[in-house]
């Protein structure tokens, strides 16, 4: 009873709370009767709502049972279908194995033939991919790809027409590799412009246009003019493009079908100016020293030629002329006619010694340059090798070309040193010979004057 009373109290409180809420939303009760009526109406509406919800729950429960039964029936049907498919798959697998065995038996020697055809088609596809002929004929690998797929398939066989076309493509590649033809194509210039030009194809080796060599990229089919050209062969390329028949002497790259590595190496060979720049700072110093030595030797040679000419003229003259070394030496003898032999000899030796520095000027410097230039070249080589070995330490020795390039650059200074030293030695010898000849004449004339003075006394 107590529990029932508590529940009634709770329901009443809830009812009052609901009624008060509804009343707050709609209107306020003026009397207790109105409040009671409001509570009763709220209770009736809640009872109807609860009944509707219970009805919906019952319908959903009935539907759930129906859906569950339907799902179970579908599951049983699919399990049965799976068993049937599995049995059918096993039966068909046995049939496929029997058909494959039958196919292998019927193929017989054709299997070996298809193997050779597959190998031949693969080799031809590789050749066509790198062929210069494709620049004119276009891509021919689509047919070869389809043929190889058919011959590798277990369900397809190549037709006689396809096999005959394979033979035809092989013959065409061979014949076109020996023809010189021209065609119109879009050529990409070094500045990026695309121009439609007449391109001459030299077999399977090179492409030329307007006297310039071209490169062909099989991947994207682009034809580009080489940024650097083999200058020694451009005249032959221009002559071939302008020829209408007969034989024309033209340089071709025999490695063209395999990528044109020889032409690339030829055009990438550094010029003399580029090799000179590879010498770096030491190379520039050696070059400056060499230019200075050449100018010095030329200047001294011209001066000595002038002195030699004046000395030769003095030999023919009867009177001493002070515009040349021999004249100044003879002037000393003329100015001192009464001296004894020993004193005159000393004065003449003194006059000759005074003339020597002007005659031999620059000879010692030329000699020093001829000895220092190779040492500077060796210095540049050693420093270049140090840089090369440091690069090897950092990046490793995996790229022989990079190592060879560094060593080649280091040896440039040695070459420059020898190029400067060898001509400098020759120039020093030539100039020194001229100077010694003049000094020899001075000594000879001085000795003659002393001998004449001795005979007079």
pLDDT tens for residues 154-168?
677 788 898 899 999
Rounded Cα–Cα distance for residues 199 and 241 (Å): 8
Q: What is the dihedral of CA 397, 401, 406, 407, to 10 degrees?
A: 90
**Contact between 347 and 445 (Cβ < 8 Å):** no
Q: Taking residues 75-82, what's their average pLDDT?
A: 90
Q: Taking residues 34-60, what's their average pLDDT?
A: 73
- In this predicted structure, what is the pLDDT of residue 315? 86
Q: Taking residues 234-252, what's their average pLDDT?
A: 85
**Contact between 201 and 174 (Cβ < 8 Å):** no
Rounded Cα–Cα distance for residues 391 and 413 (Å): 19
**Contact between 39 and 15 (Cβ < 8 Å):** yes
Residue 40 vs residue 56, higher pLDDT? 56
Q: How does pLDDT run across 336-368, given as a tens digit for each residue?
A: 877 777 888 888 888 889 889 989 899 999 999
- In this predicted structure, what is the pLDDT of residue 8? 37
Residue 302 has pLDDT above 90, yes or no: yes
Q: Taking residues 292-308, what's their average pLDDT?
A: 93
Strand partners, 188: 194, 224
User: Which range scores top for mean pLDDT: 220-224, 402-406, 427-431?
Assistant: 427-431
Q: How does pLDDT run across 323-335, given as a tens digit for each residue?
A: 888 888 888 888 8
- In this predicted structure, what is the pLDDT of residue 289? 94
Residue whose structure tokens are 């032999």: 341
Cα separation values, 63 from 27, 59, 298, Å: 43, 6, 119
């Amino acid at each position: 009873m107590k529990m029932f009373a508590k529940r009634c109290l709770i329901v009443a409180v809830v009812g009052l709370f609901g009624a008060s809420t509804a009343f707050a939303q709609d209107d306020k009760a003026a009397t207790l009767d109105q409040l009671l009526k409001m509570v009763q109406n709220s209770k009736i509406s809640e009872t109807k709502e609860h009944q509707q919800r219970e009805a919906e729950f019952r319908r959903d429960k009935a539907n759930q049972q129906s859906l569950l039964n339907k799902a179970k029936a579908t599951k049983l049907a699919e399990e049965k279908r799976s068993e049937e498919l599995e049995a059918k798959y096993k039966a068909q697998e046995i049939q496929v194995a029997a058909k494959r065995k039958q196919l292998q038996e019927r193929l017989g020697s054709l299997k070996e033939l298809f193997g050779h055809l597959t190998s031949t088609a693969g080799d031809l596809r590789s050749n066509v991919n790198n062929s210069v002929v494709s620049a004119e004929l276009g891509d021919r690998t689509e047919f070869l790809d389809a043929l190889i797929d058919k011959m590798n398939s277990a369900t397809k066989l190549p037709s006689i027409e396809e096999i005959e076309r394979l033979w035809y493509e092989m013959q065409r590649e061979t014949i076109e590799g020996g023809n010189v033809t021209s065609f119109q194509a879009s050529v990409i210039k070094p500045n990026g412009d695309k121009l439609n030009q007449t391109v001459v194809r030299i077999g399977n080796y090179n492409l030329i246009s307007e006297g310039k060599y071209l490169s062909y990229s099989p991947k994207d089919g682009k034809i580009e003019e080489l940024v650097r050209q083999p200058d020694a062969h451009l005249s032959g390329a221009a002559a071939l493009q302008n020829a209408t028949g007969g034989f024309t002497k033209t340089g071709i790259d025999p490695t063209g079908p395999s990528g044109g590595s020889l032409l690339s190496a030829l055009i990438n060979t550094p010029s003399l100016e580029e090799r000179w720049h590879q010498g770096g700072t030491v190379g520039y110093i050696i070059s400056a020293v060499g230019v200075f030595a050449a100018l010095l030797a030329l200047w001294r040679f011209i001066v000595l030629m002038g002195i030699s000419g004046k000395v030769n003229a003095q030999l023919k003259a009867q009177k001493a002329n002070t515009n040349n070394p021999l004249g100044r030496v003879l002037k000393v003898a003329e100015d001192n006619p009464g001296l004894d032999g020993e004193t005159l000899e000393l004065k003449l030796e003194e006059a000759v010694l005074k003339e020597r520095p002007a005659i031999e000027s620059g000879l010692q410097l030329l000699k020093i340059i001829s000895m220092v230039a190779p040492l500077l070249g060796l210095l540049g080589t050693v420093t270049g090798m140090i840089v090369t070995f440091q690069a090897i330490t950092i990046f490793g020795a995996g790229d022989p070309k990079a190592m060879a390039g560094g060593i080649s650059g280091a040896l440039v200074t040695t070459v420059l040193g020898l190029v400067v030293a060898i001509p400098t030695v020759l120039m020093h010898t030539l100039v020194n010979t001229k100077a010694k000849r003049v000094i020899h004449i001075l000594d000879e004339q001085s000795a003659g004057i002393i001998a004449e003075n001795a005979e007079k006394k």
